[in-house]
Structure 1
Amino acid sequence: MSFDPTAVETITVDSYGTLVDPAAVKTALEAYVDTEQIQSISDQWRSRSLMYTMVSNFTDSYQPFYDMNRDALRFALARHDVDLPSETIEEILATYHDLDPFEDVRSGLEAITEAGYDVFVVSNGNPEMLESMVETAALESILAGTISADEIQTFKPDSEIYQYAAEQTGTPLESIAHAAGPTFDVQGAMHAGMQGVWIDRTNGIWDPFADEPDLTVETFDEFATELGV
């Protein structure tokens, strides 16, 4: 399926890995972890937290994403034989409240909203995380709102969260374009009935088993152009 901008009424966007860069957590690890372990711990922390959210959808073991993230960090540290006190773990974890936006986010989203589209964040992050993310990235004046998985206690890529987003925005699924960096999120949105936009800033590899995204762009500025803005 190819992208149809004429069908789009509302834009939804992912948060971590799309609006803000979670790779910055590596800096928080530097004071406590050997240099050669930082990348591996950071990668495992991120991948494990996402795995936990997906497993919880099938095992009725929901907990807020911040708690999932804490458990994933503890696992990654233990896997590398790093023992840190709880206070230090909380300090590292708090990095998620202070992540910088990608350079194209503000300009691209401003162009999209000025063209008349409402833009909503749809995220696995719990409300407190989203509130701090929006504030830190200075996106209050651009976004129409945030929608958290915590509100229905179901994580992406379950179709339920995209259906819930459609209800909350008052927009039919087929009239929403969902933009995300993580490929599983784009796939989930498309499966639910949205148009899927992959924000591919790193010239990544699309998952071979999945249908191609409706649109692939490098930045939100390019997405705005594809919308005809």
Structure 2
Amino acid sequence: MTFDPTIVETVTVDSYGTLVDPSTVERALEASVDAEHVQSISNQWRSRSLLYTMVSNATDSYQPFYAMNRDALCVALAAHDVELSSEAIEAILATYHDLDPFEDVTRGLEAITDAGYDVFVVSNGNPEMLESMVETAGLESVLAGTISADEIRTFKPDSEMYRHAAARTGTPIESIAHVAGPTFDVQGAMHAGMQGVWIDRTNSMWDPFADEPDLTVETFDEVAAELST
């Protein structure tokens, strides 16, 4: 499918891995974990937290993402035989309130809003996480709002989350372009009826079993350029 900017009325964006960089947590891990294990723990923490969201959808066992993230961190630490105090674990977990935005985010989102599009965050993060993310990254002026999975207790990539986002923004679902770094999120948005934009900053491989994204870009600057054509 080919991206059609002429039908786009609203832009939705993912949060972690799209606006802000989850690898920032590695700096916090370095204070408590041997350097040789930091990357492996970080990767396992991230992948297991995402796994939990999908299992939650399938088993109707919702809990807020921050709590799931804590459980995933504890499992990743235990898998590497790392024992930390509850205070140290909470300090590492709290870095999710202070993640670094990617370099292109503010500039690109400003260009999108200047072109006349409302931009909403659609995230699995719970409202407190999103509030701190927006404040820390300084994105208040370029976002029309945030939409959390906590509002319907269902995580992406379930279609219900994208339909909820369409209702919250007051936009027909086919008139939304959803921008995300995680491939499962792009797939979920397209399956629900949105146009899917994959922001691939690291020249990654698209999942071969899935339909190709409507548009692949490296930065939000390119998204703005496509919407301005």
- Coarse TM-score class (shorter-chain normalised): over 0.9
Shift of 1:154: 0.2
Amino acid at match of 1:12: T
**TM-align CA RMSD:** 0.6
Q: d(CA) in 1 for partners of 2:71 and 2:78?
A: 11
Mapped pair 1:138 → 2:162: no
Secondary structure at 2:133 match in 1: helix
Matching residue of 1:66: 66
Q: d(CA) in 1 for partners of 2:83 and 2:144?
A: 42
Shift of 1:60: 1.0
Shift of 1:219: 0.1
Q: Please list, as runs of the form range in 1=range in 2, the aligned pairs for 1:208-223 lying within 5 A after superposition.
A: 208-223=208-223
> Unaligned 5+ residue runs, structure 1?
none
> Unaligned 5+ residue runs, structure 2?
none
Q: d(CA) in 2 for partners of 1:149 and 1:59?
A: 16
Shift of 1:31: 1.2
Matching residue of 1:202: 202
Matching residue of 1:80: 80
Q: d(CA) in 1 for partners of 2:207 and 2:130?
A: 27
Q: d(CA) in 1 for partners of 2:137 and 2:38?
A: 25
Matching residue of 2:24: 24
Q: d(CA) in 1 for partners of 2:228 and 2:55?
A: 39
Matching residue of 1:38: 38
Amino acid at match of 1:204: S
CA deviation string 1:176-206 (max 9, x = no partner): 0000000000000000000000000000100
Mapped pair 1:118 → 2:131: no
Shift of 1:228: 1.5
Matching residue of 1:178: 178
Q: TM-score, normalization: structure 1?
A: 0.99
Secondary structure at 2:211 match in 1: coil
Shift of 1:112: 0.4
Q: d(CA) in 1 for partners of 2:41 and 2:29?
A: 9
Structure 1 runs of 4+ with >3 Å offset: none
Q: TM-score, normalization: structure 2?
A: 0.99
Q: d(CA) in 2 for partners of 1:208 and 1:91?
A: 38
Q: d(CA) in 1 for partners of 2:30 and 2:217?
A: 33
CA deviation string 1:55-110 (max 9, x = no partner): 00011110000000000000000000001111110000000000111000001000
